[in-house]
Amino acid sequence: HGTSKVNDKGHLEIGGVDTVDLANKYGTPLYIYDVELIRNRARGFKQTFDDLGIKAQVAYASKAFSTVAMIQLVEQEGLSLDVVSGGELYTALAAEFPVDRIHFHGNNKSREELEMALTNNIGCIVVDNFHEIHLLEEIADSLNKKVKILLRVTPGIEAHTHDYILTGQEDSKFGFDLQNGQAEKALKLAIESNNLDVLGIHCHIGSQIFDTTGFILAAQKIFTKLNDWKTALSYEPRVLNLGGGFGIRYTDNDEPLSPDKYVKEIINEVKKQAENYQMNMPEIWIEPGRSLVGDSGTTIYKIGSSKEVPDVRKYLAIDGGMSDNIRPALYQANYEAVLANRVLEQPEETVSIAGKCCESGDMLIWDLPLPRAGSDDLLAVFCTGAYGYSMANNYNRIPRPPVVFVESGSTTLVVRRETFEDMVRLDLPINERVKN
Ligand code: LLP
């Protein structure tokens, strides 16, 4: 997919660059991003809205992969940006992303985070709960500002995905419940506030979703309420943000729609609902994370040790694991992989790929067909672009791998490899404490 192909040495090539050369130069593990593919995904989403003649903002959910270079790329492609913490906001500001196109999410934004958002004049705060309404109002008042907000509602939808990444169901930590009057109460409070400008409504039903049933149901439930609010509160939203969550294909078992199909089917329903209730078509915002960057990322590892469990299985161990990709351990996520240095060779055996962390659960891939591979072969794991680097950690004090961007034959190092010095950078010796 993307610009990936096999070159005449039988090596995996991405963005016109030989991944074996990249592994030799930058070491392993190494995250490689296919920049052209990210650009195409970004342009695809925008094109779909243009074709439909719909006013829209496509906000990249930066939690999927947030670094200065990535955010600069998002800016180059003219998307908006969704951040969920002071740290993600700081990264966006460091990348000099236009503040009016930043949207700030989160179910427990601190006073400091909200102040940071307001003093930097960011475009919109997605308000999650009553505590936040009061806090935001107080801060906005003290800074003498009027803040644009969306209200996040929970429509009571169960999208079919892993329990930990479900968010639209009633029993969720996110948002105002749409059904039990919470959302209406919040809307009333916000409308009455002099410091809040309620642009509209936000809803995100989950992640890695393979069809539009959940989105359509959510839109229907929201419009039923919007119709009530039109009468009861004379309120009509200017913006409807339907979140992210569009699924991608990690393995052959995944059957997502194409990005434009998700958007077209959802917009179709929103149009129908707006007409049905005789409302103005709101501006539509979406927040894709995974579907913008997921399949553009590939991780290259070096194979080291192996272990046979006679008549059961063969383990091949790589030089990374749950420290650079926690998704298999956390969500039983599945991935496909090939030998980056011997792509065209036929599989001869089935092996299981073990990480190097001290946990039996640190298994990256079970039962992978591969050519007979040994130490120093390179394993390329596909579709690691979303929630790979962003959820990487230093378990076992393993330094996080570097990230390179490749495009049209050139390579840019966009995140340096962590060092052992970085592992102790924040540590203080025991005598320091004794002295105090
Ligand atoms: N908007 C909101 C409010 C969200 O909570 C999320 C993801 C997104 C947008 C982007 O969703 P996406 O398009 O990437 O599916 N760590 C998990 C995924 C957690 C998603 C959290 N929220 C994973 O690795 O699968």
Residue 423 confidence (pLDDT): 97
Does residue 46 sit in the same domain as residue 86? yes
Angle (CA) 352-353-359 rounded to 5° is: 105
In-domain check, residue 213: yes
Q: Determine the Cα–Cα distance for residues 117 and 63; give it in Å rounded to an integer.
A: 17
Do residues 23 and 41 both lie within one domain? no
pLDDT of residue 1: 83
Residue 431 within any structural domain of the chain: no
Q: Residue 329 is part of a domain; what is its CATH number?
A: 2.40.37.10
- ipTM for the whole complex: 0.99
Q: Which residues pair with 358 in a beta bridge?
A: none
How many C-beta neighbours within 10 Å does residue 333 have?
19
Domain assignment present for residue 430? The answer is no
Count of structural domains within the chain: 2
Task: Output the pLDDT for position 167.
Answer: 59
Angle CA 43–89–246, to nearest 5 = 40
Q: Indicate which residues carry an active-site annotation.
A: 358
Pick from 128, 160, 205, 207 the residue to mutate for probing ligand 1's pocket: most ligand atoms within 8 Å of its CB: 207
64 CA distance to ligand 1 middle (Å): 7
Pocket test for ligand 1, best of 58, 63, 108, 209 (most atoms within 8 A of CB): 63
Among 260, 290, 320, where does a domain finish?
290
Domain range for 314? 5-33+294-424
252 and 324 together in one domain:
no
Residue 186 CA to ligand 1 center (angstroms) comes to 24
User: Which residues have CB under 6 Å of ligand 1?
Assistant: 61, 64, 82, 105, 165, 167, 204, 207-208, 243-246, 287-291, 327, 331, 386-387
Domain co-membership, 341 together with 320? yes
Looking at the fold, whether 229 and 328 belong to one and the same domain comes out as no
Residues 110 and 22 in one domain: no
Upstream peptide bond of 29 is cis (omega within 30 degrees of 0): yes
Low-confidence ranges of the chain (pLDDT < 70): 158-168, 432-436
Residues 137, 14: one domain? no
Q: Which atom of ligand 1 is nearest to the CA of 391?
A: 16
Q: Which of 235, 257, 290 is the last residue of a domain?
A: 290
Q: What is the pLDDT of residues 128-145, one digit of tens each?
A: 999 999 999 999 999 999
Of 257, 267, 339, nearest to 298 by C-alpha is 339
Instruction: Report whether 387 belongs to an annotated binding site.
Output: yes
Return the residue whose CA atom lies nearest to atom 16 of ligand 1.
387
Cα–Cα distance measured from residue 243 to residue 266, given in angstroms and rounded to the nearest whole number: 11
Q: Report the SS3 class of residue 394.
A: coil
Where does a domain end: 290, 309, 344? 290
Q: Are residues 252 and 366 in the same domain?
A: no
The annotation status of 331 as a binding-site residue, yes or no, is: yes
- Residues 240 and 277: beta-carbon distance below 8 Å: no
436 part of a folded domain: no
Are residues 65 and 174 both part of a single domain? Answer: yes
Residue 290 marked ligand-binding: yes
Cis, bond preceding 401 (omega within 30 deg of 0): no
The DSSP call for residue 34 is E
Residues 360 and 239 in one domain: no
| Cβ neighbour number for residue 355 with a 10 Å cutoff | 27
Residue 103 in any domain: the answer is: yes
Q: Which residue has the tokens 């749950």?
A: 322
Q: For ligand 1, atom 6, which residue shows the shortest CA distance?
A: 244
Structure tokens at 259: 């990005």
Q: Residue 200 annotated as binding?
A: no
Contact between 73 and 92 (Cβ < 8 Å): no
From 79, 108, 210, 290, give the residue whose CB has the most ligand 1 atoms within 8 Å, as the site to mutate. 290
d(CA 152, CA 42): 24
pLDDT tens digits along 34-88: 999 999 999 999 999 999 999 999 999 999 999 999 999 999 999 999 999 999 9
In a domain, 404, yes or no: yes
228 part of a folded domain: yes
> 177: which 2 tokens?
């419940």
340 and 269 part of one domain = no
Question: The CATH number of the domain where 142 resides is what?
Answer: 3.20.20.10
In a shared domain, residues 263 and 146: yes
CB atoms within 10 A of CB 185: 14
Task: Determine, yes or no, domain membership for 61.
Answer: yes
Q: How confident is the model at residue 163, as a pLDDT?
A: 53
